[in-house]
Structure 1
Protein backbone atom coordinates (compact mmCIF):
# COMPACT_ATOMS: atom_id res chain seq x y z
CA UNK A 1 0.00 0.00 0.00
CA UNK A 2 2.81 2.44 0.86
CA UNK A 3 6.16 2.80 -0.95
CA UNK A 4 8.25 2.27 2.20
CA UNK A 5 7.79 -0.60 4.63
CA UNK A 6 9.46 -2.13 7.66
CA UNK A 7 13.28 -2.00 7.41
CA UNK A 8 13.28 0.51 4.55
CA UNK A 9 10.92 2.79 6.45
CA UNK A 10 12.96 2.55 9.66
CA UNK A 11 16.11 3.39 7.67
CA UNK A 12 14.41 6.43 6.12
CA UNK A 13 13.41 7.64 9.58
CA UNK A 14 16.99 7.06 10.77
CA UNK A 15 18.25 9.39 8.06
CA UNK A 16 15.58 12.03 8.76
CA UNK A 17 16.16 12.05 12.53
CA UNK A 18 18.63 14.94 12.39
CA UNK A 19 16.04 17.41 11.06
CA UNK A 20 12.78 15.80 12.21
CA UNK A 21 12.30 17.89 15.36
CA UNK A 22 12.79 21.17 13.49
CA UNK A 23 10.26 20.23 10.80
CA UNK A 24 7.66 19.08 13.30
CA UNK A 25 8.08 22.15 15.51
CA UNK A 26 7.37 24.30 12.45
CA UNK A 27 3.97 22.59 12.23
CA UNK A 28 1.49 24.89 14.04
CA UNK A 29 0.00 23.20 17.10
CA UNK A 30 2.10 20.03 16.78
CA UNK A 31 3.16 19.74 20.44
CA UNK A 32 -0.09 21.18 21.83
CA UNK A 33 -2.07 18.60 19.87
CA UNK A 34 0.00 15.76 21.31
CA UNK A 35 -0.70 17.02 24.84
CA UNK A 36 -4.40 17.31 24.01
CA UNK A 37 -4.45 13.67 22.92
CA UNK A 38 -2.82 12.64 26.21
CA UNK A 39 -5.50 14.51 28.17
CA UNK A 40 -8.15 12.70 26.15
CA UNK A 41 -6.97 9.41 27.64
CA UNK A 42 -8.83 10.54 30.78
CA UNK A 43 -6.29 9.12 33.21
CA UNK A 44 -6.75 10.10 36.85
CA UNK A 45 -4.68 12.70 38.68
CA UNK A 46 -1.21 13.24 37.29
CA UNK A 47 -0.66 9.60 36.42
CA UNK A 48 0.69 8.70 39.85
CA UNK A 49 1.37 4.97 40.06
CA UNK A 50 0.35 4.31 36.44
CA UNK A 51 2.33 2.55 33.72
CA UNK A 52 2.02 4.05 30.24
CA UNK A 53 3.39 2.70 26.96
CA UNK A 54 4.40 5.28 24.34
CA UNK A 55 4.32 3.20 21.16
CA UNK A 56 6.19 4.69 18.20
CA UNK A 57 7.92 7.42 20.21
CA UNK A 58 10.02 8.85 17.37
CA UNK A 59 12.37 11.55 18.64
CA UNK A 60 10.44 11.82 21.90
CA UNK A 61 7.80 14.48 21.20
CA UNK A 62 4.99 12.13 22.21
CA UNK A 63 7.03 11.06 25.26
CA UNK A 64 7.41 14.70 26.29
CA UNK A 65 3.65 15.21 25.93
CA UNK A 66 3.02 12.23 28.20
CA UNK A 67 5.60 13.37 30.75
CA UNK A 68 4.32 16.95 30.94
CA UNK A 69 0.67 15.89 31.23
CA UNK A 70 1.22 12.82 33.44
CA UNK A 71 4.33 13.66 35.47
CA UNK A 72 3.69 10.87 37.98
CA UNK A 73 3.46 8.05 35.42
CA UNK A 74 6.11 5.47 34.61
CA UNK A 75 6.61 5.71 30.83
CA UNK A 76 8.07 3.08 28.51
CA UNK A 77 8.79 4.63 25.11
CA UNK A 78 9.30 2.27 22.16
CA UNK A 79 10.59 3.11 18.68
CA UNK A 80 11.60 1.11 15.61
CA UNK A 81 14.01 3.71 14.22
CA UNK A 82 17.40 3.56 15.92
CA UNK A 83 18.25 7.08 14.72
CA UNK A 84 15.04 8.57 16.07
CA UNK A 85 15.37 6.68 19.35
CA UNK A 86 18.94 7.88 19.81
CA UNK A 87 17.74 11.48 19.47
CA UNK A 88 14.92 10.84 21.94
CA UNK A 89 17.08 9.15 24.57
CA UNK A 90 19.74 11.89 24.40
CA UNK A 91 17.26 14.51 25.66
CA UNK A 92 17.08 15.27 29.39
CA UNK A 93 14.44 13.11 31.06
CA UNK A 94 13.45 12.71 34.70
CA UNK A 95 13.36 9.31 36.37
CA UNK A 96 10.56 7.06 35.22
CA UNK A 97 11.14 7.29 31.45
CA UNK A 98 12.64 4.25 29.69
CA UNK A 99 13.42 3.86 25.98
CA UNK A 100 13.31 0.55 24.10
CA UNK A 101 14.38 -0.10 20.51
CA UNK A 102 11.80 -2.41 18.92
CA UNK A 103 9.22 -2.50 16.12
CA UNK A 104 5.63 -2.32 17.32
CA UNK A 105 5.14 -5.87 16.03
CA UNK A 106 7.92 -7.31 18.23
CA UNK A 107 7.31 -5.95 21.72
CA UNK A 108 7.44 -9.24 23.69
CA UNK A 109 10.80 -10.13 22.18
CA UNK A 110 12.17 -6.76 23.26
CA UNK A 111 11.11 -7.35 26.86
CA UNK A 112 8.12 -5.00 26.79
CA UNK A 113 5.61 -6.58 29.15
CA UNK A 114 2.28 -5.45 30.54
CA UNK A 115 0.09 -4.72 32.15
CA UNK A 116 0.00 -1.05 31.17
CA UNK A 117 -2.71 1.31 32.36
CA UNK A 118 -2.65 3.10 29.03
CA UNK A 119 -1.05 2.86 25.59
CA UNK A 120 -0.47 5.99 23.53
CA UNK A 121 0.53 5.79 19.86
CA UNK A 122 1.25 8.91 17.80
CA UNK A 123 1.58 8.83 14.01
CA UNK A 124 2.18 5.07 14.06
CA UNK A 125 -0.66 2.92 12.79
CA UNK A 126 -0.77 4.15 9.20
CA UNK A 127 2.88 3.06 8.85
CA UNK A 128 2.30 -0.53 10.00
CA UNK A 129 2.06 -3.52 7.67
CA UNK A 130 -0.57 -5.15 9.91
CA UNK A 131 -2.33 -2.60 12.14
CA UNK A 132 -4.93 -5.15 13.25
CA UNK A 133 -2.26 -7.47 14.66
CA UNK A 134 -0.67 -4.59 16.56
CA UNK A 135 -4.05 -3.52 17.97
CA UNK A 136 -4.50 -7.08 19.23
CA UNK A 137 -1.05 -7.04 20.82
CA UNK A 138 -1.77 -3.67 22.43
CA UNK A 139 -5.02 -4.96 23.91
CA UNK A 140 -3.14 -7.90 25.42
CA UNK A 141 -0.63 -5.53 27.05
CA UNK A 142 -3.33 -3.38 28.67
CA UNK A 143 -4.62 -3.87 32.19
CA UNK A 144 -8.36 -4.59 32.47
CA UNK A 145 -10.26 -1.47 31.38
CA UNK A 146 -6.95 0.09 30.31
CA UNK A 147 -7.03 3.06 27.93
CA UNK A 148 -5.84 3.40 24.34
CA UNK A 149 -5.13 6.74 22.67
CA UNK A 150 -4.14 6.88 19.00
CA UNK A 151 -3.01 10.28 17.71
CA UNK A 152 -3.02 10.00 13.94
CA UNK A 153 -3.37 11.68 10.59
CA UNK A 154 -6.64 9.99 9.61
CA UNK A 155 -8.79 12.01 7.24
CA UNK A 156 -12.34 12.90 8.10
CA UNK A 157 -13.73 11.73 4.77
CA UNK A 158 -14.44 15.04 3.01
CA UNK A 159 -12.75 15.86 -0.29
CA UNK A 160 -11.57 19.11 1.28
CA UNK A 161 -9.65 17.20 3.97
CA UNK A 162 -7.62 15.32 1.37
CA UNK A 163 -7.12 18.50 -0.68
CA UNK A 164 -5.73 20.47 2.26
CA UNK A 165 -3.44 17.61 3.27
CA UNK A 166 -2.08 17.31 -0.27
CA UNK A 167 -1.63 21.07 -0.62
CA UNK A 168 0.38 21.32 2.61
CA UNK A 169 2.51 18.27 1.82
CA UNK A 170 3.29 19.09 -1.80
CA UNK A 171 3.48 22.84 -1.41
CA UNK A 172 5.42 23.12 1.87
CA UNK A 173 6.66 19.92 3.49
CA UNK A 174 7.97 17.93 0.53
CA UNK A 175 10.07 20.72 -1.03
CA UNK A 176 11.81 21.33 2.31
CA UNK A 177 12.27 17.62 2.97
CA UNK A 178 13.66 17.06 -0.53
CA UNK A 179 16.23 19.81 0.03
CA UNK A 180 17.28 17.99 3.20
CA UNK A 181 17.65 14.67 1.38
CA UNK A 182 14.48 13.13 2.84
CA UNK A 183 12.08 13.55 -0.03
CA UNK A 184 11.28 9.84 -0.34
CA UNK A 185 10.23 9.60 3.32
CA UNK A 186 7.92 12.59 3.17
CA UNK A 187 6.36 11.43 -0.09
CA UNK A 188 5.66 8.19 1.75
CA UNK A 189 4.13 10.11 4.67
CA UNK A 190 1.81 11.98 2.31
CA UNK A 191 0.73 8.77 0.63
CA UNK A 192 0.39 6.89 3.93
CA UNK A 193 -2.37 9.28 5.01
CA UNK A 194 -4.19 9.23 1.67
CA UNK A 195 -4.18 5.42 1.61
CA UNK A 196 -4.99 4.89 5.30
CA UNK A 197 -8.37 4.58 7.02
CA UNK A 198 -10.60 7.55 7.52
CA UNK A 199 -11.03 8.45 11.18
CA UNK A 200 -14.39 6.67 11.30
CA UNK A 201 -13.01 3.55 9.62
CA UNK A 202 -10.08 3.41 12.03
CA UNK A 203 -12.48 3.75 14.98
CA UNK A 204 -14.34 0.71 13.64
CA UNK A 205 -11.03 -1.15 13.30
CA UNK A 206 -10.26 -0.40 16.96
CA UNK A 207 -13.69 -1.61 18.03
CA UNK A 208 -13.28 -4.82 16.03
CA UNK A 209 -10.00 -5.45 17.90
CA UNK A 210 -11.89 -5.77 21.19
CA UNK A 211 -12.04 -2.20 22.47
CA UNK A 212 -15.11 -0.35 23.70
CA UNK A 213 -16.18 3.28 24.24
CA UNK A 214 -14.37 4.13 21.00
CA UNK A 215 -14.41 7.76 19.93
CA UNK A 216 -12.67 9.65 17.12
CA UNK A 217 -12.09 13.25 18.17
CA UNK A 218 -10.83 15.88 15.72
CA UNK A 219 -7.89 18.13 16.45
CA UNK A 220 -8.14 21.91 15.96
CA UNK A 221 -6.44 24.39 13.64
CA UNK A 222 -5.46 23.67 10.04
CA UNK A 223 -5.51 19.94 10.88
CA UNK A 224 -9.26 19.87 11.56
CA UNK A 225 -10.60 17.00 9.45
CA UNK A 226 -7.06 15.70 8.92
CA UNK A 227 -5.72 14.68 12.35
CA UNK A 228 -7.74 12.90 15.05
CA UNK A 229 -7.38 11.30 18.44
CA UNK A 230 -9.04 7.89 18.62
CA UNK A 231 -9.61 6.95 22.25
CA UNK A 232 -10.90 3.64 23.56
CA UNK A 233 -10.95 1.30 26.52
CA UNK A 234 -10.01 -2.36 26.61
CA UNK A 235 -13.26 -4.28 26.39
CA UNK A 236 -14.39 -7.74 27.34
CA UNK A 237 -13.18 -7.58 30.96
CA UNK A 238 -15.32 -8.86 33.86
CA UNK A 239 -15.45 -5.62 35.87
CA UNK A 240 -19.17 -5.17 35.35
CA UNK A 241 -21.22 -4.28 32.27
CA UNK A 242 -19.53 -2.02 29.73
CA UNK A 243 -21.07 1.33 28.98
CA UNK A 244 -22.63 1.81 25.59
CA UNK A 245 -20.10 2.75 22.93
CA UNK A 246 -19.96 6.42 22.00
CA UNK A 247 -20.46 7.49 18.37
CA UNK A 248 -17.53 6.52 16.16
CA UNK A 249 -16.81 10.13 15.13
CA UNK A 250 -17.44 13.14 17.36
CA UNK A 251 -17.64 16.66 15.96
CA UNK A 252 -15.93 19.59 17.64
CA UNK A 253 -12.48 19.59 19.16
CA UNK A 254 -13.26 18.08 22.59
CA UNK A 255 -10.76 18.63 25.37
Structure 2
Protein backbone atom coordinates (compact mmCIF):
# COMPACT_ATOMS: atom_id res chain seq x y z
CA UNK A 1 0.00 0.00 0.00
CA UNK A 2 1.44 3.39 -1.04
CA UNK A 3 2.14 6.10 1.54
CA UNK A 4 -0.82 8.25 0.50
CA UNK A 5 -3.19 5.28 0.69
CA UNK A 6 -1.90 4.38 4.15
CA UNK A 7 -2.48 7.95 5.31
CA UNK A 8 -6.00 7.89 3.87
CA UNK A 9 -6.76 4.64 5.69
CA UNK A 10 -5.56 6.13 8.97
CA UNK A 11 -7.79 9.16 8.33
CA UNK A 12 -10.75 6.83 7.83
CA UNK A 13 -9.96 4.77 10.94
CA UNK A 14 -9.33 7.77 13.20
CA UNK A 15 -12.85 7.93 14.68
CA UNK A 16 -12.69 4.35 15.94
CA UNK A 17 -8.95 3.93 16.45
CA UNK A 18 -8.96 4.50 20.20
CA UNK A 19 -11.66 1.87 20.70
CA UNK A 20 -9.65 -0.67 18.74
CA UNK A 21 -6.36 -0.13 20.57
CA UNK A 22 -8.18 -0.19 23.92
CA UNK A 23 -9.09 -3.80 23.11
CA UNK A 24 -5.39 -4.69 22.94
CA UNK A 25 -4.25 -5.90 26.39
CA UNK A 26 -1.23 -3.95 27.55
CA UNK A 27 -1.26 -1.43 24.68
CA UNK A 28 -1.19 1.73 26.82
CA UNK A 29 0.99 0.18 29.52
CA UNK A 30 3.60 -0.82 26.95
CA UNK A 31 3.65 2.72 25.54
CA UNK A 32 4.33 4.07 29.03
CA UNK A 33 7.11 1.54 29.59
CA UNK A 34 8.85 2.50 26.35
CA UNK A 35 8.36 6.21 27.04
CA UNK A 36 9.87 5.78 30.50
CA UNK A 37 12.93 4.19 28.91
CA UNK A 38 13.89 7.58 27.49
CA UNK A 39 15.15 8.12 31.03
CA UNK A 40 14.67 11.87 31.14
CA UNK A 41 15.49 13.48 34.51
CA UNK A 42 13.26 15.65 36.71
CA UNK A 43 10.05 14.67 34.94
CA UNK A 44 11.42 16.23 31.75
CA UNK A 45 11.70 19.72 33.27
CA UNK A 46 13.14 22.16 30.74
CA UNK A 47 13.25 19.52 27.99
CA UNK A 48 11.50 19.25 24.64
CA UNK A 49 10.19 15.80 23.62
CA UNK A 50 9.02 15.07 20.09
CA UNK A 51 6.28 12.44 19.67
CA UNK A 52 6.86 11.47 16.06
CA UNK A 53 3.82 9.77 14.52
CA UNK A 54 1.58 10.63 17.48
CA UNK A 55 -1.65 9.34 15.90
CA UNK A 56 -4.68 10.02 18.10
CA UNK A 57 -2.43 10.88 21.04
CA UNK A 58 -2.01 7.58 22.91
CA UNK A 59 1.78 7.89 22.76
CA UNK A 60 1.51 11.60 23.64
CA UNK A 61 -0.47 10.68 26.75
CA UNK A 62 2.20 8.15 27.72
CA UNK A 63 4.89 10.82 27.43
CA UNK A 64 2.81 13.39 29.33
CA UNK A 65 2.30 10.92 32.15
CA UNK A 66 5.96 9.92 32.41
CA UNK A 67 7.39 13.42 31.86
CA UNK A 68 4.79 15.92 33.12
CA UNK A 69 7.27 18.82 33.15
CA UNK A 70 8.45 18.42 29.56
CA UNK A 71 7.30 20.32 26.49
CA UNK A 72 5.76 17.66 24.26
CA UNK A 73 5.15 18.12 20.53
CA UNK A 74 3.03 15.53 18.72
CA UNK A 75 3.57 15.24 14.96
CA UNK A 76 1.54 13.22 12.48
CA UNK A 77 0.84 13.16 8.74
CA UNK A 78 -2.82 12.16 9.16
CA UNK A 79 -5.19 15.09 9.66
CA UNK A 80 -7.89 12.70 10.88
CA UNK A 81 -5.70 11.23 13.59
CA UNK A 82 -4.44 14.67 14.64
CA UNK A 83 -7.99 16.01 14.90
CA UNK A 84 -8.75 13.24 17.41
CA UNK A 85 -5.56 13.98 19.32
CA UNK A 86 -6.20 17.73 19.49
CA UNK A 87 -9.76 17.17 20.76
CA UNK A 88 -8.49 15.54 23.96
CA UNK A 89 -7.75 17.52 27.13
CA UNK A 90 -4.08 18.49 27.32
CA UNK A 91 -2.08 20.77 29.52
CA UNK A 92 -0.29 23.86 28.20
CA UNK A 93 2.94 21.91 27.65
CA UNK A 94 1.46 19.78 24.84
CA UNK A 95 0.95 20.88 21.24
CA UNK A 96 0.54 19.23 17.85
CA UNK A 97 2.00 19.77 14.38
CA UNK A 98 0.72 18.40 11.07
CA UNK A 99 3.69 17.18 9.02
CA UNK A 100 5.27 14.14 7.45
CA UNK A 101 7.97 12.79 9.73
CA UNK A 102 10.65 12.81 7.03
CA UNK A 103 9.99 16.49 6.16
CA UNK A 104 10.54 17.94 9.65
CA UNK A 105 13.33 20.30 10.63
CA UNK A 106 14.25 21.59 14.07
CA UNK A 107 13.09 25.02 12.90
CA UNK A 108 9.55 23.70 12.34
CA UNK A 109 9.43 22.83 16.04
CA UNK A 110 10.90 26.01 17.46
CA UNK A 111 14.32 24.47 17.94
CA UNK A 112 16.00 21.11 18.43
CA UNK A 113 14.55 18.47 20.74
CA UNK A 114 16.08 16.64 23.67
CA UNK A 115 14.32 13.36 22.92
CA UNK A 116 12.28 11.67 20.20
CA UNK A 117 9.66 9.00 20.80
CA UNK A 118 8.28 7.17 17.77
CA UNK A 119 5.63 4.50 18.38
CA UNK A 120 4.65 2.22 15.49
CA UNK A 121 5.98 4.80 13.02
CA UNK A 122 9.06 3.66 11.15
CA UNK A 123 7.39 0.65 9.54
CA UNK A 124 4.71 2.93 8.04
CA UNK A 125 7.15 5.37 6.44
CA UNK A 126 8.02 5.04 2.73
CA UNK A 127 11.69 5.66 3.53
CA UNK A 128 12.60 4.47 7.05
CA UNK A 129 16.20 5.63 6.65
CA UNK A 130 15.12 9.18 5.77
CA UNK A 131 12.79 9.19 8.78
CA UNK A 132 15.58 8.05 11.10
CA UNK A 133 17.84 10.73 9.63
CA UNK A 134 15.16 13.33 10.38
CA UNK A 135 14.78 12.08 13.94
CA UNK A 136 18.54 12.32 14.37
CA UNK A 137 18.73 15.79 12.84
CA UNK A 138 16.02 17.34 15.02
CA UNK A 139 17.77 16.13 18.19
CA UNK A 140 20.40 18.02 20.14
CA UNK A 141 23.84 16.41 20.40
CA UNK A 142 23.50 13.71 23.05
CA UNK A 143 19.73 13.53 22.52
CA UNK A 144 17.83 10.29 23.03
CA UNK A 145 15.53 8.35 20.75
CA UNK A 146 13.15 5.50 21.50
CA UNK A 147 11.35 3.51 18.82
CA UNK A 148 8.39 1.49 20.11
CA UNK A 149 7.98 -0.89 17.23
CA UNK A 150 6.84 -4.26 15.95
CA UNK A 151 9.64 -6.59 14.86
CA UNK A 152 9.05 -10.31 14.24
CA UNK A 153 11.38 -11.22 11.36
CA UNK A 154 13.95 -12.84 13.67
CA UNK A 155 11.48 -15.27 15.28
CA UNK A 156 9.25 -17.85 13.61
CA UNK A 157 7.24 -18.14 16.84
CA UNK A 158 6.63 -14.37 16.95
CA UNK A 159 5.54 -14.38 13.30
CA UNK A 160 3.11 -17.20 14.01
CA UNK A 161 1.56 -15.47 17.03
CA UNK A 162 1.30 -12.20 15.12
CA UNK A 163 -0.54 -13.80 12.18
CA UNK A 164 -2.83 -15.73 14.50
CA UNK A 165 -3.80 -12.59 16.43
CA UNK A 166 -4.25 -10.53 13.25
CA UNK A 167 -6.52 -12.99 11.45
CA UNK A 168 -8.31 -14.12 14.60
CA UNK A 169 -8.88 -10.74 16.24
CA UNK A 170 -7.45 -7.56 14.69
CA UNK A 171 -8.67 -7.86 11.10
CA UNK A 172 -12.20 -9.12 11.95
CA UNK A 173 -12.60 -6.52 14.70
CA UNK A 174 -11.35 -3.74 12.45
CA UNK A 175 -13.87 -4.74 9.78
CA UNK A 176 -16.73 -4.76 12.30
CA UNK A 177 -15.84 -1.38 13.82
CA UNK A 178 -14.84 0.54 10.67
CA UNK A 179 -16.66 -1.34 7.91
CA UNK A 180 -13.43 -2.16 6.08
CA UNK A 181 -10.29 -4.19 6.67
CA UNK A 182 -7.66 -2.69 4.35
CA UNK A 183 -5.72 -0.92 7.11
CA UNK A 184 -5.62 -3.99 9.33
CA UNK A 185 -4.54 -6.34 6.54
CA UNK A 186 -1.82 -3.81 5.71
CA UNK A 187 -0.81 -3.79 9.39
CA UNK A 188 -0.43 -7.58 9.33
CA UNK A 189 1.68 -7.58 6.16
CA UNK A 190 3.82 -4.59 7.08
CA UNK A 191 4.90 -6.13 10.38
CA UNK A 192 5.88 -9.40 8.68
CA UNK A 193 7.88 -7.52 6.05
CA UNK A 194 9.65 -5.12 8.42
CA UNK A 195 13.15 -5.39 9.90
CA UNK A 196 14.04 -7.95 12.48
CA UNK A 197 15.35 -6.53 15.74
CA UNK A 198 18.98 -7.03 14.68
CA UNK A 199 18.27 -5.38 11.32
CA UNK A 200 16.60 -2.38 12.92
CA UNK A 201 19.55 -1.92 15.27
CA UNK A 202 21.86 -1.94 12.25
CA UNK A 203 19.61 0.63 10.55
CA UNK A 204 19.77 2.86 13.62
CA UNK A 205 23.56 2.63 13.78
CA UNK A 206 23.79 3.39 10.06
CA UNK A 207 21.79 6.55 10.76
CA UNK A 208 24.56 7.66 13.11
CA UNK A 209 22.99 6.66 16.42
CA UNK A 210 25.03 5.30 19.30
CA UNK A 211 24.31 3.14 22.36
CA UNK A 212 21.73 1.25 20.32
CA UNK A 213 19.96 -1.57 22.14
CA UNK A 214 16.69 -3.49 22.25
CA UNK A 215 14.62 -3.88 25.41
CA UNK A 216 11.83 -6.42 25.80
CA UNK A 217 8.19 -5.85 26.68
CA UNK A 218 5.96 -8.24 28.58
CA UNK A 219 2.60 -9.90 27.92
CA UNK A 220 1.36 -11.48 24.70
CA UNK A 221 3.43 -9.00 22.67
CA UNK A 222 6.74 -10.17 24.12
CA UNK A 223 9.00 -10.83 21.14
CA UNK A 224 6.56 -8.95 18.87
CA UNK A 225 6.78 -5.34 20.11
CA UNK A 226 10.10 -4.00 21.39
CA UNK A 227 11.71 -0.83 22.71
CA UNK A 228 14.66 0.30 20.57
CA UNK A 229 16.90 2.89 22.24
CA UNK A 230 19.67 5.04 20.80
CA UNK A 231 21.44 8.35 21.30
CA UNK A 232 22.86 11.05 19.05
CA UNK A 233 26.63 11.41 19.43
CA UNK A 234 27.55 14.31 21.69
CA UNK A 235 29.66 15.78 18.88
CA UNK A 236 26.89 15.62 16.27
CA UNK A 237 25.81 19.07 15.06
CA UNK A 238 22.04 19.73 14.95
CA UNK A 239 20.75 21.05 11.65
TM-score for the superposition, normalised by structure 1: 0.89
Partners in 2 of 1:33 and 1:199 — Cα distance?
17
Aligned-partner Cα distance in 2 for 1:103–1:182: 25
**Alignment partner, residue 183 of structure 1:** 181
Distance 1:82 1:182 in 2: 19
- The CA distance in 1 between the partners of 2:47 and 2:33, in whole Å, is 19
Which residue is equivalent to 1:114?
111
Is the CA contact (8 Å cut-off) linking 1:59 and 1:84 kept in structure 2?
Answer: yes
Structure 1: give runs of 5+ residues left out of the alignment. 239-255
Q: Secondary structure at the match of 1:191?
A: helix
TM superposition shift of 1:111? 2.1
Identify the match of residue 100 of structure 2 among 68, 79, 103: 103
- The residue matched to 1:177 in structure 2 has which SS? helix
Deviations 1:69-99 (A, max 9, x none): 0000001100111100000000000011110
Q: By how many angstroms is 1:109 displaced?
A: 9.9
Match of 2:199 in 1: 201
1:174/1:230 CA distance change after superposition, 3 Å = same
The correspondence for 2:19, drawn from 22, 26, 30, is 22
| Contact kept? 2:54, 2:119, Cα under 8 Å | yes
Distance in 2 (CA, whole Å) between partners of 1:168 and 1:110 is 41
Match of 1:136 among 133, 136, 142: 133
Q: Deviations over 1:168-215 (max 9, x none)?
A: 000111011122223000000011100000112101100111010001
Partner of 1:212: 210
Structure 1 residues 109 and 158 mapped into 2: Cα distance closer, same or farther (>3 Å)? closer
Cα distance in 1 between the residues matched to 2:233 and 2:185: 37
Q: Which moved more, 1:176-185 or 1:100-109?
A: 100-109
Partner of 1:248: none
TM-score (norm 2): 0.95
Offset of residue 112 of structure 1:
3.0
> Hey, what does 1:78 align to over in structure 2?
75
- Alignment RMSD (CA, Å): 1.6
Measured after TM superposition, the shift of residue 110 of structure 1 is: 8.8
In structure 2, what is the equivalent of residue 52 of structure 1? 49
Which of 115, 121, 124 matches 1:124?
121
**4+ runs of 1 displaced by more than 6 Å?**
none
Corresponding residue number in structure 2 for 1:241: none
Match of 1:192 among 184, 190, 211: 190
Structure with greater helix share of residues: 2
